[in-house]
Each structure stands twice: as C-alpha cells, then as structure tokens.
Amino acid sequence: MPSAAFVDNKSAIAALFQQALYSAFPALLEDASPFVIEVEKPKNPDHGHFAVNSALQLAKKLGIKPRDIAEAIVDALPASALLAGKPEIAGPGFINIRLARTAEMRVVASIMSAGDQFGNSTAGGGRKVMVEFVSANPTGPLHVGHGRGAAIGDTLARLLEAQGWRVSREFYYNDAGAQINNLGLSVQARLREKVGLESAFPEDGYRGQYIIEIAERYAQEDPRDATGNDADAIRSFAVAALRHEQDLDLKAFGVQFDVHYLESSLYTDGLVEKTVDHLVKMGHTYEQDGALWLRTTDYGDDKDRVMRKSDGTYTYFVPDVAYHVTKWERGFARAITELGADHHGSLARVRAGLQAMEMGVPQGYPDYVLHQMITVMRAGEEVKISKRAGSYVTLRDLIDEVGRDATRYFFVMRKSDSQLTFDIDLAKSRSEDNPVYYVQYAHARICSVLNQWGGDCGRLDSVDLLPLTNKYESELLRALADFPELLATAARELSPHLVCVYLSELAARLHSYYNAEKFLVEDEKLKLARLALILATRQVLKNGLAVLGVSAPDKM
C-alpha cells in the first residue's frame, strides 16, 4: 500500500531556516523560549512559494534593522535542492522563497501514489472522537436547520476520519418529556376529530399536516383503538413513525449514524438519578422553594439552575448532563456536539454540570459547533416559516427539489457561525453561478479531456513534468500542494466550509487553464505532462468532494 504521507515542503523550509537563523545569530539559542521560524504562503505569487517574516519579528529584540537580519539569515542558508536560487529579501524585510522546479512538482507523484488517500494524515493517531449531530426531537419531519446540522456534522466526521481519528457519529433522541406528550396528545386530538368526537386541540400542540397523516395511519394499523383512547400506544406509534421518517430522510442525505442514543434510556437505566445523587454528594446543590438547584455559577454559568422541580420531575438540563457523562464514560476523551445556535444557552450549563461532577472531565468538554439560522429563498422571495401552522421547508423537500449534492454543498459552504441564505433557484441551476456545479463540472471536464485523449491513465504516473512552465500550471501545482494542509486546518478548526472555498478556487484554476490556450498540444511530452497534471487535479477534486459527501461525476 502506497504511503499517504506527502512530504511537506513547508516544514522542510522551516527546518532549513531554523538552522540558518541559529548559525547567523547563535545568541538566540540561549533564550529560554526559543524563537520558532514561521513559514507562510504569500497570497501574491510574485512573492514566491513561501515567505519568512522572522527578520521583522526579531528586529526589536536584536536591535538590528530587519533587512540586515534577513540578509544574514539568507547568507547562512545551507545549500539545498529544495530551493531555486537564493531567496529574495523584499519589502521591509520579508524573505521570499522560490522552490526548485523538481520540488514544486513532486506533489503530482505524491497524489498519484496516494490516490484516494492523498490529503489524509494520521494526526488523530486512531484516538476516539464522538460527533453528535442532528439530534432532532421526534416530533416532526427534519427541516432545513436539521439539514444544515446534518451536513456540517457529517462533514466534520469525514474530516476527522481523514485525519486519522476514530469517529463515532451519534444521534441523541429527546424521546421523553413534555413535548413527546404533546405530540401524543396532538395525534390523539386529530384521531378524535376524525371520528367526530369532541376534542380540544392541545395549546402547544403540533399543527402540521403530518400529524393528521400519522393519525390516519394509526387508525388504519390499529383499528381496535379507532377512537384514540390508548394515549401510550398513540404516543409510541407517533414517535416510531417520525423516527422512521427522519431515518429515511437522513439516509437519502447520505448520513448514517453509529449510535442512536435515547433520552428515555437515561431514565430507565437510572443514569439521571445517579447523576443527581452524585452532584448532591459532591456538595454542589441546595434546596430552595421546594426545588433542587445546582450551583452552576461556580463553573462559569450566569445563574444557578434547577435540577429537580418542586413537582419532583427533572428539568431537561439533568438528562443533558447525564448524557454527556456517558460520552466521557464511554471513553470519548474528545466529543463534538453540533447544534443549532438557538441551543447555545445549554452550552455553559452542560459544561458547568460536567465540572460539578468532579470526574476529571476537561473544562472545554465537549467542543461545540453551532450553526446559525437559515433563510430559504425561492423566486427571489423569502419562504416564510410558521412553526405554529406547522409549515416549513423540510430537508426532504430540498433533497427532492435540488438534489443531495447541491443541498449538502450549500449547507457547508458558509462558515457555520454565519447565517445562511439558501437560494433554491441557485442551487438548482446548472450554471457557473452555482458553486457546486462549478466544482463538479471541473471534475467532469477533466474526465472528458482524458477521454478524448483516449490513452491509458496508468501511463501518466511517471511522466516527466518539467515541460510544465506556464503560470496556470505553476498555480495549479501550488494549489494541489495546499490540499493536505487545507484538510488539516479544516479538521483542526472544525471548519468544513474551508473545503468548499478551496474546491471553488481549484476549479477556477482548472477552468482558466483550459481556456487559456490550446490544451492538447502536438508536443507529446508537454501533452503528457499536462494530462498528468489534470489527472492529479481530478484526484484532489474527487478527494475534496468525498469529504463533503458530494459525488464527483464523470459527466454532467
């Protein structure tokens, strides 16, 4: 099996300059906190492949002018096959580094040998991480907000897997409590209406059309209770039906969970009790007004929280803490919880609750990724959502109307902290305006060119790339080399949208390249080199799309 590791030029450059710095300024070796060379990638290609700004940072400390420091570093640089000549000193004291052609091109060979693994790393070291996402209550169909959560959570999971983490995807069902009762009562009311019985619809009932459908199905499948007397049976029927619908939607969306964790099991397994007892034992609780409170203010919350109401039942916050305790106890030293931003209030509380347990859970546990609200646009107008009337855009609507690929891409393409406008017409359009088609088309276009050439792609593995000299080729090479770092950054910062940004840029480079001049030239060596380059590009596009769970079509 070929190694997935890409020999990173950046770290090699850093090592080279670190050596040069110490040999030019040996005094720095004696510092308590050693100065670390940072290598960055300039945005402006005129500034070379890499840049080092250490001279500016050290000017004050050393009392020497930045350009002089830069010169001393460059002069002390050991000879290296990595570099194309002596680095330039530019501006106030930047050192701009250009790679030797051979160093620039080795990324293609890395891509060819690593294939689907290119860009992956072993940074996670096989450690366990849980990603909890969607976690919709089984009280209705999944809507756009859940869709965004599903896309972001699943992409995070894929990113972490690509970085060598052992990921478990988990869905937490709030299948206990008042809202589920409410669901049952809503269905019951519809059932009674149907047979002409007097029935008050619950005040906070669910009014969607789907409730009526569930009532009809219940009546059909359980004719013994046509008048809707058996509240328990109705409730479990409704929950099962809605869970089933949600599962189908998620499956159609390409999202699968390893574990579905039921809130009700926290009660039946006694974990809620156990958690409360433990918190009492640790001395972080008090009784007041007939209720049991947790002193969450000791752990950064802005007010204390009720755990057990005066009527003896628990608030939702207790099972939330108990649930997160199980994450820790199940061996997930790292856990990520993906939620809609409307739940951000629970963040401080759950973390405080975990701290109060005094069981060694780190303070920032779990990591939270919150996504902001979504506005759906159709025909230039906002699609209004009315929860009261039960009318909203469902995930299923989007998948059916614009397709799985576009829906997934649109949901992750903005950073999750930003509110998202989902333009249905744009997502459906097959044009350059539509970012997902633009990227997919780049992939299809390469397939088409390779097809037209008609040769054996295996031949391209060891082609000589030195004929590649124009600026499109060099920029494409540079973009390809960025991919592993991009994935690492996106995973580290839990920012899946970076993958979309990268893919759009890569696709744009490719489209420019094709249109710049005649692509399939007469010169056989140049032609093969170009084909090898786009073959590598296709691989990276494919790997990037795979992380997003979006298909990479051969033709469109």
Partner RNA sequence: GCCCUCGUAGCUCAGUGGAUAGAGCAUCCCCCUCCUAAGGGGAGGGUCACACGUUCGAUUCGUGUCGAGGGCGCCA
Q: Based on the shown chain and the rule CB under 7 A, indicate whether residue 437 belongs to the binding site for RNA.
A: yes
Q: Based on the shown chain and the rule CB under 7 A, indicate whether residue 516 belongs to the binding site for RNA.
A: yes
Binding to RNA (CB under 7 A): which residues in 526-555?
555
Side chain identity, residue 331: G
**Six token digits for residue 378:** 């159709």
Of 11 and 418, which CB lies nearer to RNA in the complex structure? 418
Q: Give the H/E segment covering residue 375.
A: strand 374-378
Per-residue DSSP letters for 459-481? GGGG---TT--SHHHHHHHHHHH
Q: Based on the shown chain and the rule CB under 7 A, indicate whether residue 383 belongs to the binding site for RNA.
A: no
Candidates 11, 102, 363, 418; binder of RNA (CB under 7 A) is 418
**Residue spans of beta strands (DSSP E) within 266-382:** 285-288, 291-294, 305-308, 334-340, 367-371, 374-378, 381-382
Q: Based on the shown chain and the rule CB under 7 A, indicate whether residue 14 belongs to the binding site for RNA.
A: no
The answer to whether residues 365 and 335 touch, using CB atoms and an 8 Å cutoff, is: yes
Question: CA 180, CA 319: separation in Å to the nearest integer?
Answer: 15
Binding segment (CB under 7 A) for RNA, from list 190-198, 248-256, 504-512, 536-544: 504-512
Q: Based on the shown chain and the rule CB under 7 A, indicate whether residue 492 belongs to the binding site for RNA.
A: no
Residue 447: φ, ψ to 5°: -55, -40
Of 40 and 221, which CB lies nearer to RNA in the complex structure? 40
**Residue spans of beta strands (DSSP E) within 280-359:** 285-288, 291-294, 305-308, 334-340
Of 198 and 381, which CB lies nearer to RNA in the complex structure? 381
Report, in Å, the least distance between residue 9 CB and RNA: 16
Candidates 378, 511, 546, 551; binder of RNA (CB under 7 A) is 511
Of 15 and 178, which CB lies nearer to RNA in the complex structure? 178
Report, in Å, the least distance between residue 135 CB and RNA: 10
Report, in Å, the least distance between residue 264 CB and RNA: 10
Candidates 28, 62, 233, 341; binder of RNA (CB under 7 A) is 341
Q: Based on the shown chain and the rule CB under 7 A, indicate whether residue 363 belongs to the binding site for RNA.
A: no
Q: Based on the shown chain and the rule CB under 7 A, indicate whether residue 445 belongs to the binding site for RNA.
A: yes
The answer to whether residues 162 and 203 touch, using CB atoms and an 8 Å cutoff, is: no
Binding segment (CB under 7 A) for RNA, from list 2-10, 157-165, 249-257, 304-312: 304-312
Q: Based on the shown chain and the rule CB under 7 A, indicate whether residue 86 belongs to the binding site for RNA.
A: no
Candidates 116, 269, 400, 432; binder of RNA (CB under 7 A) is 432
Candidates 289, 456, 522, 524; binder of RNA (CB under 7 A) is 289
Q: Based on the shown chain and the rule CB under 7 A, indicate whether residue 5 belongs to the binding site for RNA.
A: no
Question: CA 146, CA 339: separation in Å to the nearest integer?
Answer: 9
Of 38 and 258, which CB lies nearer to RNA in the complex structure? 38
Q: Based on the shown chain and the rule CB under 7 A, indicate whether residue 174 belongs to the binding site for RNA.
A: yes
Total binding residues toward RNA, as defined by CB under 7 A? 83
Question: CA 485, CA 441: separation in Å to the nearest integer?
Answer: 24
The answer to whether residues 189 and 231 touch, using CB atoms and an 8 Å cutoff, is: no
Binding to RNA (CB under 7 A): which residues in 244-273?
none
Report, in Å, the least distance between residue 437 CB and RNA: 6
Q: Based on the shown chain and the rule CB under 7 A, indicate whether residue 356 belongs to the binding site for RNA.
A: no
Binding to RNA (CB under 7 A): which residues in 91-130?
91-92, 94, 96
Candidates 9, 121, 137, 188; binder of RNA (CB under 7 A) is 137
Strands 39-40 and 291-294: unpaired
Give me the torsion for CA of 53, 59, 62, 65, rounded to 10°. 110
**Six token digits for residue 104:** 């620039």
Q: Based on the shown chain and the rule CB under 7 A, indicate whether residue 420 belongs to the binding site for RNA.
A: yes
Q: Give the H/E segment covering residue 366.
A: none
Binding to RNA (CB under 7 A): which residues in 28-67?
40, 42-44, 46-47, 51, 53, 56-57, 59-60
Question: CA 490, CA 493: separation in Å to the nearest integer?
Answer: 5
Instruction: Give me the residue label for tokens 């789907």.
Output: 210
**Residue spans of beta strands (DSSP E) within 10-125:** 39-40, 50-52, 88-90, 94-97
Strands 88-90 and 94-97: antiparallel
Cis peptide before 366 (omega within 30 of 0): yes
Q: Based on the shown chain and the rule CB under 7 A, indicate whether residue 398 belongs to the binding site for RNA.
A: no
